[in-house]
Amino acid sequence: MSNPTIDQLYQDLISGDRSALSRSITLIESKSDKHIASAGELLNRCLNTSGNSIRIGITGSPGVGKSTFINAFGHYLIQQHNKRVAVLAIDPSSTLTGGSILGDKTRMADLASSEHAFVRPSPSGGDLGGVAAGTRESILLCEAAGFDVILIETVGVGQSEIAVYDMVDLFLLLIQPGSGDDLQGIKRGIMEMADVIVVNKSDGSLESNAKETAGFYAQAVGFIHPQRPNWKIDVQRVSSVTGEGLEKLWQTMVRFEDGQQQNGDWQANRSRQNQRWFQYHLEQELLRRIRTSEHVKNQASEMEKPVEMGEVHPLMAARKVADDFFNRG
């Protein structure tokens, strides 16, 4: 049975209305049971209208210029290629530092003020899984609203890069111009995940440093076994201030998409991501239902005392509660 509120929201969403997109994202981020049902209905509707975008993940150390780059690149795509650009962010550190969100508001001001862009500030709080879950679904909603380039910013902390890698078509690592002879603490694993490595801030007095750094990375990637079949990690330089290099970068992305589409890797990658996403949600859903079961709550509270007193080993206690749950009549 269809829900009239969701019908209207869906119609507004596919007409490209950005406030409907905002409301849709808020709905799918909600934890309330009532909203979860409506969100599911909305997402199901969107399956037919989503998928037509290039999903680009952007990572790099704090201060490398991710937000400035996204602002410049997004602006360039809108101006030069008539694109509609959505920006989503995963920033698990924002609750600790409190700084990123404020900074992003000013650094992405150009983009945020364009009617062809949609910028969703970093969600704060919550576990990474939860944040990432919302982001994955937000991509679909942005696509349903007609955005054809989705940029997802994440900061180089813990699991967030892996989470983003698993929801994008192309993963971009931004690098700071440096001495050129060290890896700036960029973990090898992150380099291996990158499809394109971009040395940012290639302008003014930093330009020669940037060239040196790019040369160094171009050599280093020669020793890396690429993650994707049929694609060699590409190293480039840009300036997010002057716009130098953005055109070449976009051409590279187009070449990446064309190649992957032609040999079927593009769709294969998305299908694998959907599979893993299904597994993730399945585990979360099972865990949530088991945790909230009255039976488990009662059994667990009965075991608390003996565990505290050292009469039952915690592992045995946990197994007993689980056995009772699965074997109950």
Q: Which does 200 bind (CB under 5 to 8 A by kind): ligand GTP, Mg ion, none?
A: ligand GTP
Site for ligand GTP contains 245 (CB under 6 A): no
Nearest Cα to 108, choosing from 131, 78, 137? Answer: 78
Distance separating alpha carbons of residues 263 and 187, to the nearest angstrom: 30
Nearer to Mg ion, 66 or 75 (CB): 66
Cα 233 to chain centroid distance, Å, stands at 20
| 64: contact with ligand GTP by CB under 6 A | yes
Region 96-135 residues binding ligand GTP, contact defined as CB under 6 A: 100, 103, 107
116 binds Mg ion (CB under 5 A): no
Q: Which does 177 bind (CB under 5 to 8 A by kind): Mg ion, ligand GTP, none?
A: none
Q: For residue 285, what are its two tokens?
A: 């859903």
Binding of residue 93 to Mg ion (CB under 5 A): no
Burial of 16 (0-12, 13-18, 19+ CB in 10 A): middle
Q: Which of 196, 202, 173 is nearest to 186 (CA)?
A: 173
Options 15-23, 200-208, 220-228, 300-308: segment touching ligand GTP (CB under 6 A): 200-208
Determine, following the binding rule CB under 5 A, whether residue 66 of this chain makes contact with Mg ion: yes
When asked if residue 62 is in the footprint of ligand GTP (CB under 6 A), the reply is yes
Range in contact with Mg ion (rule: CB under 5 A) among 47-55, 60-68, 201-209, 259-267? 60-68
Nearest distance, CB of residue 88 and ligand GTP, angstroms = 14
* Distance between CA atoms of residues 315 and 37, nearest Å: 36
First to last CA, the chain: 33
DSSP letters, 279-305, are HHHHHHHHHHHHHT-HHHHHHHHHHHH
- Residue 176 interacts with Mg ion (CB under 5 A): yes or no: no
Q: Is 67 in the site for Mg ion (CB under 5 A)?
A: yes
> What, of Mg ion, ligand GTP, none, does residue 203 touch, CB below 5 to 8 Å by kind?
ligand GTP
d(CA 271, CA 43) in angstroms, rounded, equals 17
DSSP element (H, E) containing 124: none
66 neighbors 111 (Cβ within 8 angstroms): no
Of 258, 216, 222, nearest to 237 by C-alpha is 216
Residue 213 interaction partner, one of Mg ion, ligand GTP, none, beta carbon < 5-8 Å per kind:
none
Angle subtended at Cα 153 by Cα 151 and Cα 158, rounded to the nearest 5 degrees? 140
Query: Using the rule CB under 6 A, which residue among 38, 42, 65, 112 binds ligand GTP?
Result: 65
| Beta carbon nearer to Mg ion, 59 or 260 | 59
Q: Which does 18 bind (CB under 5 to 8 A by kind): Mg ion, ligand GTP, none?
A: none
60 binds ligand GTP (CB under 6 A): yes
Residue 57 within binding range of ligand GTP, rule CB under 6 A: no
Residue from 38, 160, 240, 299 touching ligand GTP (CB under 6 A): that is 240
Integer angstrom CA distances of residue 98 from 29, 59, 152, 164: 20, 19, 19, 21
Q: Which of 4, 63, 185, 189 binds ligand GTP (CB under 6 A)?
A: 63
At residue 95's C-alpha, the angle toward residues 92 and 101, to 5°, is: 90
Which residues in this chain contact Mg ion in the complex, by CB under 5 A?
A: 66-67
Interface with ligand GTP by CB under 6 A: which residues?
60, 62-68, 100, 103, 107, 155, 200-201, 203, 206, 239-241
